[in-house]
Amino acid sequence: MSAPPNEGQQSARIPFTKASARGNDFLLVEGAHASGDLTQLTRRLCDRHRGVGADGVEWLFPDAEADVTARLINADGSEAEISGNGTRCVAAQICSHEEKTEVVVRTGAGLKTCRLICRQDPTFEFEAEMGPPEVGGQLSIETMAVRAIGTKVSTGNPHFVIFVEDFQEGWQRQAALIGAQPQFPQGTNVEYVVVRGAHEIEIRLFERGVGETQSSGTGSCASAVAAIAGGRVASPVMVIAPGGSQTVRWENQVYLRGPATLICRGEFFV
């Protein structure tokens, strides 16, 4: 009698760590465990019903000059230059295995240094050097479906920051339409910002390749930079998102401070 299909055969397994930075969640996976199309595999891993579930995967590779190279692929399979929150999650993973107070991560937006401020396992708080921002002028978007005026900001990836009096119902639909406009040929992250005080803003986020998220490191930086550049607030700025707050200060470059928590480790069956 022949054996049933796959009897005695073991599925390939991909070890992962799941981490979260203020509700912005990522899977951290060693690139050596990946085979084939990373786009398709990332979609499977990030599926919140049939996979592990995450906003994206930070694929980790050895680097001769940095502690690690992190290649970020979003939940929809698109590749992003960088995630500020994802980079902190990568640094937390490294610090959980090694006694380090400084972690250098190579991203698609260059080398980023995360300095450990404090740790209470499984949570690690870092201040990350995010580099100098690029602030563009105001841009008006007017179509039959959407009207918005915002500021273009690059923090290693593109953002469109819109200041509002309050958060309107259906803002997610508007943000999705904005990101698809021809003014953003590579797409863009969209942030809605309410100024709460001289050093405080509250934001909502719609990220390219993901959709609405609980938090964003680069989005927090872009929102704070746009608010500072427009004279609405002064550095440092507390940025409040649905997932929690982070602190952004802008001197010669932008610094982002916030926690990253390791949630669990496991194996994904391919």
Residue 150 burial by Cβ neighbours in a 10 Å radius (0-12, 13-18, 19+): buried
Q: Determine the pLDDT at residue 176.
A: 96
Q: What is the pLDDT of residues 42-101, one digit of tens each?
A: 999 999 999 999 999 999 999 999 999 999 999 999 999 999 999 999 999 999 999 999
At residue 226, the pLDDT reads 98
Domains recognised in the chain with CATH numbers: 13-129+258-269 (3.10.310.10), 134-251 (3.10.310.10)
**Rg (alpha carbons) of the chain, rounded to whole number:** 19
pLDDT at 183: 94
Q: Which residues of the chain have pLDDT under 70?
A: 1-10
By C-alpha distance, which of 189, 166, 170, 169 is closest to 178? 189
Residues 89, 83: Cα–Cα separation, whole Å: 10
Instruction: Specify the residue for token string 């203020």.
Output: 22
Other Cβ atoms less than 10 A from the Cβ of 232: the count is 15
In angstroms, the CA 268 to CA 12 distance is: 8
Collapsing DSSP to helix, strand or coil, 15 comes out as strand
Structure tokens at 225: 């930079």
Structure pTM? 0.93
Looking at residue 35, its pLDDT comes to: 75
Q: Do residues 152 and 160 make contact, with C-beta atoms less than 8 angstroms apart?
A: yes
In the prediction, which pLDDT does 1 show? Answer: 44
- pLDDT for 7 equals 53
Which pLDDT value is given to residue 143?
A: 84
